[in-house]
């Protein structure tokens, strides 16, 4: 009996090997045949095709010209300037000085640390809050649509306006937050007026934009097939099990997307320029983020070459982090897998 089974297994594997070899042989032959094929003269495009191609280029040209002029040329310029002492007037070669100086500049260290703290707290907090907000407004309810609009509304407000709005909201004397605190007998909170509370206030303010993440989560939830939930219900899964085993795995592509964009956005953030004291740096440089440092060097101190080098260092860091995120993204579940 055992001998028969072993023979059958051997035959099966032999036939598989034969099929594989046959496939390989055919593919090799096919490739050779393609190579041997006489090269076809390039077919002349018809007038219609030419017209279509020209039309295609015309339609693309605004984007291409815009990309060239407003993205690639400035990028190249900043790369070029990063190797020079450039103040907008004089250009003197600096070699790698700007890059080396970035590692010796205490302000860079301080701003990088502030940015790291901001990113480490802000990213998970926003992801989790927007996720739960989306869960709340995902269910069909009488006022669901109203809540969705209300939660998304802050995202529509321009950044400058919302920055100024928060400046007023956090005003130590007349701000609505402190009025509320005072009305329930609590003392006023200093918000951006003290170094120790500035970062907390900034992170609190960051929650203003969770409506943007909520919309992405909602779109992910809508793409989860209903029959998965129905089957799970039939199998006796409770609400938490359905959430943990269906909702979360099925929304991992959006989690990943939100994570990548949040990491990039948080590291580049310089919104404090609009509302924070001391030209966006906060008291004791408590809000001196890396993006603010770049702005300050380029626009205030006129060290455009140095600011360009700092920008390229940030670009390298973001590229490495994004690469790592993609390389460790096996936990992301794409439906077709």
Residues of the shown chain interacting with another protein in the complex, contacts defined by CB under 8 A: 68, 72-73, 76-77, 80-81, 86-91, 106, 171-174, 190, 192-194, 277-279, 281, 296, 298-304
- Give 271's DSSP letter: T
Question: Radius of gyration of the chain from Cα atoms?
Answer: 29
Q: Which is nearer to another protein, 76 or 323 (CB)?
A: 76
Q: Tokens standing for 150?
A: 């209300």
H helices of the chain, where?
Answer: 2-36, 47-67, 73-81, 97-104, 106-138, 144-156, 159-169, 176-183, 195-206, 210-222, 226-234, 239-242, 248-250, 252-268, 272-275, 290-295, 304-327
Q: Tokens standing for 259?
A: 């994570």
Q: Which is nearer to another protein, 106 or 227 (CB)?
A: 106
Q: Which is nearer to another protein, 42 or 222 (CB)?
A: 42
Instruction: Find the shortest distance in angstroms from Cβ 69 to another protein.
Output: 8
Q: Which is nearer to another protein, 154 or 190 (CB)?
A: 190
Q: Which is nearer to another protein, 193 or 322 (CB)?
A: 193
Angle at 272 between CA 268 and CA 277, to 5 degrees: 150
Q: Tell me the C-alpha distance between 167 and 185, whole Å.
A: 23
Q: Tell me the C-alpha distance between 105 and 125, whole Å.
A: 31
Contact (CB, 8 A) for 283 and 67: no
Contact (CB, 8 A) for 169 and 176: yes
Instruction: Find the shortest distance in angstroms from Cβ 199 to another protein.
Output: 17
Q: Which is nearer to another protein, 270 or 322 (CB)?
A: 270
Instruction: Find the shortest distance in angstroms from Cβ 64 to another protein.
Output: 10
Query: What are the residues facing 85 on neighbouring strands?
Result: 92
Instruction: Find the shortest distance in angstroms from Cβ 180 to another protein.
Output: 17
Q: Which is nearer to another protein, 160 or 324 (CB)?
A: 160
Instruction: Find the shortest distance in angstroms from Cβ 76 to another protein.
Output: 3
**What residues contact residue 119 under an 8 Å CB cut-off, 6+ apart?**
263, 266, 267
Instruction: Find the shortest distance in angstroms from Cβ 279 to another protein.
Output: 6
Instruction: Find the shortest distance in angstroms from Cβ 37 to another protein.
Output: 19
């Amino acid at each position: 009996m055992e001998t028969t089974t072993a023979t059958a297994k051997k035959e099966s594997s032999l036939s598989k090997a034969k099929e594989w070899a046959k496939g390989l042989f055919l593919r090799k032959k096919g490739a050779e045949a393609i190579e041997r094929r006489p090269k076809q003269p390039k077919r002349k495009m018809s007038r219609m095709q030419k017209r279509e191609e020209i039309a295609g280029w015309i339609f693309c040209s605004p984007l291409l010209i815009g990309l060239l002029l407003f993205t690639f040329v400035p990028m190249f310029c900043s790369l070029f300037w990063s190797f020079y002492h450039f103040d907008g007037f004089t250009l003197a070669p600096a070699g790698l000085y700007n890059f080396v100086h970035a590692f010796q500049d205490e302000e860079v260290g301080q701003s990088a640390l502030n940015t790291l703290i901001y990113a480490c707290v802000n990213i998970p907090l926003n992801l989790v809050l927007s996720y739960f907000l989306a869960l709340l407004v995902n269910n069909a309810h009488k006022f669901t649509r109203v809540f969705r609009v209300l939660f998304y509304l802050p995202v529509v407000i321009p950044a400058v306006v919302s920055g100024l709005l928060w400046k007023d909201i956090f005003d130590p004397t007349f701000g609505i937050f402190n009025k509320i605190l005072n009305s329930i007998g609590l003392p006023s909170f200093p918000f951006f007026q003290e170094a120790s509370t500035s970062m907390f206030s900034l992170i609190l303010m960051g929650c203003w934009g969770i409506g943007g993440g909520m919309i992405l989560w909602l779109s992910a939830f809508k793409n989860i097939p209903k029959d998965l939930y129905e089957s799970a219900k039939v199998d006796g899964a409770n609400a938490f099990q359905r959430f943990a085993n269906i909702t979360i795995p099925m929304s991992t592509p959006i989690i990943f997307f939100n994570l990548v964009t949040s990491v990039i956005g948080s590291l580049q953030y310089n919104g404090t320029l609009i509302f924070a004291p001391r030209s966006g740096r906060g008291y004791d440089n408590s809000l001196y983020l890396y993006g603010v440092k770049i702005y300050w060097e380029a626009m205030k101190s006129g060290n455009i070459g140095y600011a360009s080098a700092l920008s390229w260092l940030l670009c390298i860091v973001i590229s490495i982090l994004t690469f790592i995120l993609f390389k460790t993204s096996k936990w992301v579940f794409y439906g077709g897998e």
